[in-house]
Amino acid sequence: MKSSSPAEPVISCRGLHKQYTGRGGSVNAVNGLDLEIRRGECFGLLGPNGAGKTTTIEIFEGLLRPTSGDVEVLGMRWGDNDNELRQRIGISLQETRFTERLTVIETLVLFRSFYRNGKNPADVMDAVGLREKAKSWIGKLSGGQRQRLAVACALVGDPSLLFLDEPTTGLDPQSRRQLWDVIRRLQQEGCTVLLTTHYMDEAERLCNRLAVIDHGKVIAMGSPGELISGLGGEHMIEFALANGTGALDDLFAGLPSVKEVRSDVNGIALTVSEPHIAIPALLGRLQSQKLELARLSTRQASLEDVFVGLTGRHLRDDEISSTE
């Protein structure tokens, strides 16, 4: 049985590698990953498409075998006593299509039957807000309701560790917030949650700690606050010039309180610690160079900025256009 020492990690992995070999050569989906996830926390894996999030989580779930590396889950290892481990974890895969002609309650009862101990399927339906859909066929549910059903199936075995692979992808903001509430409540009940996402706001609001993953490696780890303050400044100034952007980065790098300068097709972004100092300095510099301003805005720095700062790329391909 598990020891209840809070210091003992729920998941720990060292030197995790996963290589896929296919016709087009081999892909290092996970490339030397070290992680420790603590009891009771909500831990997020944040990264762009193809970063290796699903591969990592499926190795933890015992569904994939790593090429090399060491993984311990709930103090056990896959291959020793898999059934015992499976009794204690709950899983929602990135993409599962449940049988369309079964109802919500029938599906939950089916999943409940696989576990020695578990929750009452009706209670789980309440928890995810699917009570009134109990007798509906799954084929008739909306996308968000299906996602909540997937989470419900993960919960029905009363897990102490929950894996959620992109639980809110494709949902409208309302449904996403509902799912966040479900996850927060679980965490309050003492469940450890590992989730993957490529929504930075989700990671910021939901996760106690997170690892930013790119190309199968952890490129930053910590609480959302720590990661953002790691930028050196917690504010962003974004502006564009009337006659386009040249190679002007150097012009602004030396301004007081400016930590970093980035430019892309939409304009220039400055990471600053104190906007009330940086803005007058910026305006002065523009005037002295006879550059005309087309737009200027300031905002709080986000995990997106952390990611862009680390990789020079955006988390999602649509991010660049959506900032306008």
Partner 1 sequence: MTKYHPLSELFKARLREFVREPETIFWVYAFPVLLAIGLGIAFRNRPAERVFVDVQQHVSAEEVAKSLRSKPDFVVAIHSKPECLDRLRLGKSALVVIPGDPYTFLFDPTRPESVLARQQVDDALQRAAGRKDPLPTADRHITEPGTRYIDFLIPGLLGMNLLAGSMWGVGYVIVDMRVRKLLKRFAATPMKRSHFLWSALGGRMAFMIPEVVVILGTGVLLFGFPIRGNIFAILFLSLLGAASFAGLGLLVACRAQKVETVSGLMNLIMMPMWLLSGVFFSPERFPDILQPFIKILPLTHFNYALRAVILEGASLSSQFWRLALIAAWGGISYFFTLRWFRWN
* Residue 87 binds to partner 1 (criterion: CB under 8 A): yes
Backbone φ/ψ region at 71: left (φ over 0), alpha (ψ -120 to 50), beta: beta
Nearest residue (CB) to Mg ion, 125 versus 211: 211
Q: Which does residue 91 touch among Mg ion, ligand ATP, partner 1, none (CB within 5 to 8 A, set by kind)? A: partner 1
Can residue 180 be called a binding residue for partner 1 (CB under 8 A)? no
Q: Are strands 267-272 and 235-241 parallel, antiparallel or unpaired?
A: antiparallel
CB of 252 to ligand ATP, least distance (A): 34
Query: Which of the choices ligand ATP, partner 1, Mg ion, none does residue 27 contact, using the CB cut-off of 5 to 8 A by kind?
Result: ligand ATP
**101 sits near partner 1 (criterion: CB under 8 A):** yes
- Enumerate residues 53-112 that contact Mg ion by CB under 5 A: 53-54, 94
Residue 268 near residue 239, CB atoms below 8 Å: yes
* Smallest separation, CB 268 to partner 1 (Å): 44
Binder of partner 1 out of 70, 95, 181, 189 (CB under 8 A): 95
Provide, rounded to whole angstroms, the least separation between the CB of residue 87 and partner 1: 5
For Cα atoms 136, 117, 150, give the angle at the middle one, nearest 5 degrees.
Answer: 35
Let me know: does 154 contact 162? Beta carbons within 8 Å: yes
Task: Please give the residue ranges that form the binding site for ligand ATP (CB under 6 A).
Answer: 20, 22, 27, 29, 47, 49-55, 94, 198
- Contact segment (CB under 8 A) with partner 1 among 71-79, 98-106, 187-195, 274-282 equals 98-106
What residues between 104 and 133 interact with partner 1 by CB under 8 A? 106, 109-116, 120
Of all residues in the shown chain, the one whose CB is closest to Mg ion is 54
Confirm or reject binding of residue 61 to partner 1 (CB under 8 A). yes
Is residue 63 close enough to count as binding partner 1 by CB under 8 A? yes
d(CA 34, CA 218): 7
Phi, psi (deg, nearest 5) at residue 179: -65, -35
Cβ distance 128 to 171 under 8 Å? no
Q: How far is the CB of 284 from ligand ATP (least distance, A)?
A: 43
Which of ligand ATP, Mg ion, partner 1, none binds 301 (CB below 5-8 Å, type-dependent)? none
- Residue whose structure tokens are 């049985």: 1
d(CA 157, CA 139): 23
Would strands 25-38 and 89-92 be described as parallel, antiparallel, or unpaired? unpaired
Q: Give the residue with the Cβ less far from ligand ATP, 52 or 157.
A: 52
Our finding on whether 302 is near Mg ion (CB under 5 A) is: no
Question: 5, 83, 300, 322: which one contacts partner 1 (CB under 8 A)?
Answer: 83
CB of 48: closest distance to Mg ion in angstroms? 10
Judged by beta carbon, residue 109 or residue 320, the one nearer partner 1 is 109
Shortest spacing between CB 166 and Mg ion, in angstroms: 6
Which residues make up the interface to Mg ion (CB under 5 A)?
53-54, 94
Binding footprint of partner 1 on the chain (CB under 8 A): 61-63, 83, 86-87, 91, 93, 95-99, 101-102, 106, 109-116, 120, 137, 153, 157
